[in-house]
Structures are given as structure tokens and as C-alpha cells.
């Protein structure tokens, strides 16, 4: 059973796939909310970390649209302030955006089915979007793991293995093949929902289908 599910949820519960990138500001909002919301709906989470940068490049973008389009970028940071106030989530605009987080993403892929996954993702996101820390550095990733009482040195070494590196590339290719163009993206079966503001819709769709994945 996925670690993000409450103990009362069976392996036959509906499932939501959560595709995210630690550099994505709207993924931050979803990472901080999804575990509690999914548990309330009796839904399992399948964590799907992927690299948004290669997806953007395939779509012809050299950077985040929030960087390339000045007006959109200005709006987004105002919107993030409002949304974080709404959800009671701390927020500080990162000094670097989008912030590279390759190591943090490799660790997330390694931990996707482990009990510490949700807590690790929340910690990394907080370090990026509340503390403005360099989540691409081994020092910060180690700090996050150690604060969770995890063997940071071993986990990082495992995440840097060739097999895990390849898995992250393949998962990113899978994201593109499934039509993902931004983060966060959610799937319930083959039904796709894009954006933090569609998380509730995706969970309600799980309720309406009641289909075990």
C-alpha cells in the first residue's frame, strides 16, 4: 500500500497519480495539501516526480512561461501570495526561479513508494518556497532527510545510481507521452486534471468513479 494512505484505506481504494516537480510553484500548493485531502476521500496517492524542464523544451519553451512572459510572471507571484494565505501555507518568493532540483527529484523518485515520501516532499517544498534554500544542493537535501530521521548519505548515494537516474529520465518521457504540459498534473485512470486548482476536482472524480487502479 502507498505510504500516503491512511491505515483505514485498503489497497482497493481509488488512486490518483500526482505528477509534480519541486521547482514548480503551483506544485508546492498541491504537495502541501494532497496527503490530507486524499486521506479524507479514501484515495491512494501514486507519487510521480518528473522533470518539467525537458517537457517545456519539447514544447518550445527555453524557460518557465512565468519567466518568459513578464506579465504572467508578475501575476503568478501575487496569486501565490493569495493562495498561500488561503491555505495557511508559508511563502517566500524564491530568489532563483525555477530552481534546479535534480538531486531532490532523484531522491523523490527513489522514495516514491516509501513511508517517508510525503513528509520528504513537503520538507523540500518548504525549503524552496518558504525558506528560499538551494534544494539542488546535496547539503540541503541531506538536511531535509536528516530532519526526518533518515539515513541521508545512503539515500543520496542510492538516488545517484545509474538505474535511478535512468528511471527519472524515463518517467519524464512518460509524462510527455501522456500529454503532460505543466505541473502539477493529476490522473484518475486516463482522466487528466491540470493545476493545483483542479486537485479537488480530481479527488471528486475518484469519488464518482470509485474505481480501483
Note whether 49 and 207 are within 8 A (CB).
no
Q: What is the average per-residue pLDDT within 187-213?
A: 87
CATH number of the domain located at residue range(s) 15-209 in this protein = 3.40.30.10
Residue 63's pLDDT is 65
What gap in Å lies between CA 29 and CA 190, rounded to an integer? 23
Kindly state the DSSP code that residue 114 receives in the 8-state scheme: S
Helix (H, G, I), strand (E, B) or coil at 192: strand
61: pLDDT strictly greater than 80: no
- Identify which of 149, 189, 213, 180 has the alpha carbon closest to the alpha carbon of residue 24: 180
Per-residue pLDDT reduced to its tens digit, 72-100: 878 999 999 999 999 999 999 999 999 99
Residue that the C-alpha cell 524557460 belongs to: 63
Per-residue pLDDT reduced to its tens digit, 117-142: 999 999 999 999 999 999 999 999 99
Per-residue pLDDT reduced to its tens digit, 26-49: 999 999 999 999 999 999 999 999
Residue that the C-alpha cell 530521521 belongs to: 149
- Active centre residues (catalytic): 24
Domain extents in the chain: 15-209
Residue that the C-alpha cell 538531486 belongs to: 103
Kindly state the DSSP code that residue 43 receives in the 8-state scheme: -
| Pairwise pLDDT comparison (4 vs 197), residue with the higher score | 197
Other C-beta atoms lying within 10 Å of the C-beta of residue 203: 21
Other C-beta atoms lying within 10 Å of the C-beta of residue 70: 9
Residue 1's pLDDT is 39
Cis before residue 37, ω within 30 degrees of 0? no
Helix (H, G, I), strand (E, B) or coil at 13: coil
What are the C-alpha distances in Å from 86 to residues 77, 79, 140, 210, 211?
14, 10, 28, 29, 31
Per-residue pLDDT reduced to its tens digit, 150-177: 999 999 999 999 999 999 999 999 999 9
What is the reported pTM?
0.90
Question: Which band of pLDDT confidence, cut at 50, 70 and 90, is reported for residue 67?
Answer: low
Residue 210's pLDDT is 61
Amino acid at each position: 500500500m502507498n505510504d500516503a494512505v491512511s491505515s483505514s484505506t485498503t489497497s482497493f481504494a481509488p488512486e490518483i497519480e500526482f505528477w509534480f516537480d519541486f521547482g514548480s510553484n503551483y506544485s508546492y500548493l498541491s504537495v502541501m495539501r494532497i496527503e490530507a485531502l486524499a486521506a479524507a476521500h479514501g484515495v491512494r496517492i501514486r507519487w510521480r516526480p518528473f522533470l518539467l524542464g525537458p517537457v517545456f523544451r519539447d514544447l518550445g519553451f527555453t524557460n518557465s512561461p512565468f519567466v518568459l512572459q513578464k506579465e504572467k510572471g508578475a501575476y503568478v507571484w501575487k496569486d501565490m501570495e493569495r493562495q498561500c494565505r488561503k491555505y495557511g501555507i508559508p511563502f517566500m518568493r524564491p530568489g532563483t526561479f525555477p530552481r534546479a532540483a535534480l538531486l531532490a527529484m532523484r531522491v523523490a523518485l527513489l522514495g516514491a513508494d516509501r513511508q517517508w515520501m510525503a513528509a520528504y516532499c513537503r520538507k523540500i517544498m518548504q525549503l524552496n518556497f518558504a525558506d528560499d534554500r538551494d534544494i539542488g544542493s546535496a547539503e540541503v537535501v541531506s538536511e531535509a532527510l536528516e530532519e526526518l530521521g533518515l539515513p541521508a548519505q545512503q539515500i543520496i548515494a542510492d538516488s545517484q545510481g545509474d538505474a535511478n537516474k535512468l528511471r527519472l529520465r524515463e518517467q519524464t518521457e512518460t509524462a510527455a507521452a501522456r500529454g503532460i504540459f505543466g505541473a502539477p498534473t493529476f490522473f484518475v485512470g486516463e482522466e487528466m486534471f491540470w493545476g493545483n486548482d483542479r486537485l479537488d476536482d480530481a479527488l471528486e472524480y475518484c469519488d464518482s468513479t470509485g474505481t480501483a487502479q
